Structure 1
């Protein structure tokens, strides 16, 4: 077996102090089957191995291996033999000790056990086929933005998002993209929401209908935009440290236009709750956006909104969204750089999609955002990276099947290679190490939020610049 590599992806220096080796018994084996839903989000690119300790330690070794903040170190600790061994690692920070067993008893991330009253909490992702232990700062996902400074532009942050965010209901094949609803997504750290609405007329008294392409998002009754906003407003009232970005696009079979949608959003939703929305046509700092919905519009505005904000317009303008793109810009150079390749026709396209997502992660990591940017320096674009793809006519390419491959492959990449200079697909240097905005399908199934935890965890790197 190869030796373990340890990545300390936290803002605290750690030291590996003790290694113990146990016999283990496999707790699962064989490949997970996906039948209409994801049976386990984190598997790695190959089958994940899990084991339970049998008996007492058969080997114990004290050592002293310093692990600096966001540093990667090789070790002379042999990785556990899959399904047969468990290695227990004990780390120390400021005199306090923390312990973790790798592999764990399930596919989930591992929470380090505190051996005393240590002040920190740590989460571990173990990638079997990389023999890599990646350590993240455990985060309260409901309010993870609380730890970040007001001065950061939103584009500096690593932000989890969801594709066709409200589509967690019983629906036609390929229409449903999410395992859980909006409030549960918010409570577990999602902060970018992709929302598609149908506009039926120019009557501002009618509500917007939530859709996915031409289809309703639920077979059990129409779902409305105002109900989604009720969940959002309730969350922001309870968590004023947070903000969220809402991408809004017109779809469906309604006869309304983009311009009518823009007036409807402004007159019925944003203007009456002005304190809940950020509609300036510039990317805000986190402090400006806390407690608010940032409007990221994928529709054309009505000319009547051109006079808003002293004639600068209304909302972040991404109306010229590039279709099926591998790497393209929208809204000029200052709004977003996008990977949104979504056409799936065969398994080789899934491999292509994984590589495109990794390449965009690498681009996001290369960029440097200044704290409290001066005028002229603030227009660093969002890197928006869609992990979603589908093919309505091929059941093997429905959203849940794609997610079962893309999500674990992304976790694995972030654990093994993200933020490592020269280790990405294009061997780029590393700047801030951000992930950008990752837009996902089918997170949260059966309480599995590992992908979201990995994305949020990278914000700890911003603390190194403070």
Structure 2
């Protein structure tokens, strides 16, 4: 005889600022107020939970949320005649507290990833934002050694998906071209994207064209661009610096070239240069200290701990770039150090009274043969066994933080009597023990975040990742940090 199947209970967390509702097994509609965890019971055979909300025209939208995968919403059913984008992104995941498990659904607002910086005022310094980024942004070739991004996630898609920090590595190629004066074919040194010795088959001018088009369409946005020379053994620094200068000054108004952290209003529609090369005989106006954008005074080779340097406005720039980690077994340590670098104190002081600090974390790593970029970023899975890469750990870590943040908001904003009632009905979960999160069916211990959640910190800085499109929920979670 088959035993009776137990119904499934979910904690649904409305982390938006608007009331929504959820449909349970009896087809009743349960109200979800902002900041209040609500228990919803589903039939044991149920594969979806239905989130009911309104679109911008007041029409009901029924969102069918898979209860077994931590993915952003992919499907929705709309009562209107045409499909409208959902105003919410919904995540479902398994959390474990002590010896119990709790299925959790987290409802977040859907942000406009193409223009999310438009939600912030002009006086916000870039150091007060979390700008998602890509390490070796156009490294689509050379798998598994040099490839760092998916060919199906090209630069225009990166920008539309929320990427605002780019890491561009360049080398000089001799290119045949026609002399505009004589009409003869000549060899012209030209900047092209490389990762190590592997050509990435795109010229720097084409990269700039893509960014310029994006900024023209999204005037509220800006893009930080790190530039680094990849062929220092072959091309003199002076030649490289001169060629970069020619590209930059061909459209000078597009660039912010001061060696300081700007405020958002100063750089909307612009590229902020982050130069990892020197002005060697190229005569940049202002030189290394004033004319090459943000310019590090030091960059040690793969230090385990974050290193520090100062911009000309005295902003402390704290950078984590430990890439030679030895093997994939060091992934948890790498992840913990890199994310810790992004935790900044939360303060109610306006930016003008805060000590300026810019955090930069490279989440990438490379050590041959046991720490290649795809393995570190994406991990590996064999059936029920596997190893989570940096990207999965990051998505789990952010969901964990958002959930704990929501828990704290519930504890502090709900009226005392309502709060006690919620506690007595077990609608609020005790998260005092180790938290585990299951993403895409992988049960991942949060060993990478054995730090207690500290509501006195925020996640801020510039974060650069490999294969940033995997998992697909990662970029929306990173963008959401700016609103919390």
Please say whether Structure 1 and Structure 2 have the same fold, judged by a TM-score greater than 0.5. Answer: yes
CA deviations 1:16-69 (Å, max 9, x no partner) are x44413xxxxxxxxxxxxxxxxxxxxxxxxxxxxxxxxxxxxx3444444223x
Per-residue deviation, 1:273 = 0.8
Per-residue deviation, 1:428 = 6.1
Task: Please tell me whether residue 300 in structure 1 is matched to residue 278 in structure 2.
Answer: yes
- Looking at structure 1, the residues matched to 298 and 265 of structure 2 have their Cα atoms a distance apart, in angstroms, of 28
What's the counterpart of residue 137 of structure 1?
109
- Looking at structure 1, the residues matched to 317 and 43 of structure 2 have their Cα atoms a distance apart, in angstroms, of 43
Task: Please tell me whether residue 439 in structure 1 is matched to residue 464 in structure 2.
Answer: yes
CA contact (8 A) 2:91 2:107 kept: yes
- Looking at structure 2, the residues matched to 337 and 80 of structure 1 have their Cα atoms a distance apart, in angstroms, of 50
Of 248, 258, 267, the match for 1:270:
248
- Looking at structure 2, the residues matched to 258 and 378 of structure 1 have their Cα atoms a distance apart, in angstroms, of 35
What's the counterpart of residue 367 of structure 2?
391
- Looking at structure 2, the residues matched to 285 and 206 of structure 1 have their Cα atoms a distance apart, in angstroms, of 36
Per-residue deviation, 1:2 = 8.5
1:455 partner SS: helix
CA contact (8 A) 2:278 2:288 kept: no
- CA pair 428-409 structure 1, distance change in 2 beyond 3 A: closer
2:115 partner SS: helix
Q: Number of paired residues?
A: 400
Of 149, 152, 163, the match for 1:178:
149
Task: Please tell me whether residue 380 in structure 1 is matched to residue 357 in structure 2.
Answer: yes
CA contact (8 A) 1:280 1:309 kept: no
- CA pair 120-432 structure 1, distance change in 2 beyond 3 A: farther
- Looking at structure 1, the residues matched to 456 and 84 of structure 2 have their Cα atoms a distance apart, in angstroms, of 31
CA contact (8 A) 1:279 1:314 kept: yes
CA deviations 1:181-240 (Å, max 9, x no partner) are 212211222111011122579xx9622232212x1234xxx4322221121122222222
Per-residue deviation, 1:165 = 0.5
- Looking at structure 2, the residues matched to 433 and 61 of structure 1 have their Cα atoms a distance apart, in angstroms, of 38
- Looking at structure 2, the residues matched to 348 and 79 of structure 1 have their Cα atoms a distance apart, in angstroms, of 39
CA contact (8 A) 2:279 2:287 kept: no
What's the counterpart of residue 249 of structure 1?
228
CA deviations 1:164-193 (Å, max 9, x no partner) are 001123x25310110132122112221110
Task: Please tell me whether residue 109 in structure 1 is matched to residue 72 in structure 2.
Answer: yes
1:174 partner SS: coil
CA deviations 1:291-330 (Å, max 9, x no partner) are 1110011223337757529974431012512432444234
What's the counterpart of residue 403 of structure 1?
377
Task: Please tell me whether residue 450 in structure 1 is matched to residue 473 in structure 2.
Answer: yes
What's the counterpart of residue 211 of structure 1?
194
CA contact (8 A) 1:243 1:290 kept: yes
What's the counterpart of residue 33 of structure 2?
66
CA deviations 1:312-355 (Å, max 9, x no partner) are 44310125124324442343272532232222433421222233
- Looking at structure 1, the residues matched to 298 and 121 of structure 2 have their Cα atoms a distance apart, in angstroms, of 32
Per-residue deviation, 1:119 = 10
- CA pair 217-173 structure 1, distance change in 2 beyond 3 A: farther
CA contact (8 A) 2:134 2:167 kept: yes
CA contact (8 A) 1:87 1:102 kept: yes
- CA pair 307-85 structure 1, distance change in 2 beyond 3 A: closer
Task: Please tell me whether residue 340 in structure 1 is matched to residue 311 in structure 2.
Answer: no
- CA pair 413-80 structure 1, distance change in 2 beyond 3 A: farther
CA RMSD in angstroms comes to 3.7
Task: Please tell me whether residue 126 in structure 1 is matched to residue 89 in structure 2.
Answer: no
- CA pair 360-331 structure 1, distance change in 2 beyond 3 A: closer
What's the counterpart of residue 77 of structure 1?
40
CA contact (8 A) 1:141 1:189 kept: yes
Per-residue deviation, 1:417 = 1.9
1:167 partner SS: coil
Per-residue deviation, 1:367 = 4.3
Per-residue deviation, 1:281 = 1.0
- Looking at structure 2, the residues matched to 358 and 253 of structure 1 have their Cα atoms a distance apart, in angstroms, of 31
What's the counterpart of residue 51 of structure 1?
none
CA deviations 1:372-415 (Å, max 9, x no partner) are x43x747331x222222233324xx3222222222122111111
CA contact (8 A) 2:51 2:63 kept: yes
2:106 partner SS: strand
Task: Please tell me whether residue 352 in structure 1 is matched to residue 333 in structure 2.
Answer: yes
- Looking at structure 2, the residues matched to 413 and 242 of structure 1 have their Cα atoms a distance apart, in angstroms, of 27
TM-score normalised to structure 1 length:
0.73
2:234 partner SS: coil
What's the counterpart of residue 157 of structure 1?
129
Task: Please tell me whether residue 290 in structure 1 is matched to residue 264 in structure 2.
Answer: no
Of 191, 203, 209, the match for 2:164:
191
Per-residue deviation, 1:7 = 4.1
CA contact (8 A) 1:248 1:297 kept: yes
